[in-house]
Chains A and B, each alone.
Chain A
Amino acid sequence: DAGITQSPRYKITETGRQVTLMCHQTWSHSYMFWYRQDLGHGLRLIYYSAAADITDKGEVPDGYVVSRSKTENFPLTLESATRSQTSVYFCASSGTGIGYGYTFGSGTRLTVV
């Protein structure tokens, strides 16, 4: 099915562990994004990518790593999870051109204990 899928949907991990959140899109969109959503902070951009092998930092990149070896995948890795990284993470993709909005995944709810 066409779309953007995130996995896992829910994840509980321990402080200090590495965890990877997956994002896969089937449209061959050039742009992909990772956001976190927290009460009181709205959506905050972590990293984004304009194409395969091109990534850049957003507002809150510390503690996160991304890669984009293929256009369709954009995994987000928390190298050493901390409790402050407990959040809901959303992946989004976008084509190019004026007025091209984002399509969001359903999110991953991550709890760091």
Chain B
Amino acid sequence: GNSVTQMEGPVTLSEEAFLTINCTYTATGYPSLFWYVQYPGEGLQLLLKATKADDKGSNKGFEATYRKETTSFHLEKGSVQVSDSAVYFCALSDPGGNNRLAFGKGNQVVVIP
């Protein structure tokens, strides 16, 4: 079935550092790919998305490129701020069209001043 794998463990980094969170997927067909962010005490918010191979999604300084050849959708930001501290989830849509998303386990990101 469709699935998403995110790197294990929290990510701790200093302000202005470069952030990468890895996401790889397994899917039949051509899924859409998403990154969601969850700030403490809140629900998940859509951060960015890409709907076809080689598309780049971007928002708030974050970027991710849909790489079909490596089945990846890694999230990057060039210079993180303390306010970027949150949990980040990678997700893919079921290409079968029932609107179900498969979520990764999420990565806690902590940015230290």
Contact = CB atoms under 8 A, between A and B. Distances in A.
Size band of the interface chain A makes with B: 20 to 34
B93 A103 contact: no
A38 to B, nearest CB: 11
Interface residues of B, number: 21
Q: Is the interface of A mostly helix, strand, loop or mixed?
A: strand
Given A42-B104, A50-B99, A99 B51 contact: yes
A45 B100 contact: yes
Contacts of B101: 101-102
Interface stretch (A14-22, A63-71, A79-87, A90-98): A90-98
A109 to B, nearest CB: 9
A31 interface: yes
A49 B71 CA distance: 29
Interface in A14-72: 30-31, 33, 42-43, 45, 48, 50
B103 A98 contact: no
A106 B43 contact: yes
A104 interface: yes
Nearest to B105: A42
Contacts of B100: 33, 45, 48
B99 A104 contact: no
B17 interface: no
A15 to B, nearest CB: 26
Nearest to B46: A101
Nearest to A4: B43
Given A31-B99, A43-B103, A104 B43 contact: yes
Contacts of B91: 101
B49 A99 contact: yes
Contacts of A48: 100
Among A31, A33, A96, A101, find the residue whose CB has the most chain B CB atoms closer than 10 A: A101
A110 B42 CA distance: 14
B105 A94 contact: no
Interface of A: 30-31, 33, 42-43, 45, 48, 50, 90, 92, 94, 96, 98-107
Top 10 A-B residue pairs of the complex, sorted by shortest distance between their CB atoms: A104-B43, A99-B51, A42-B105, A99-B32, A31-B99, A104-B44, A101-B46, A43-B103, A106-B43, A94-B99
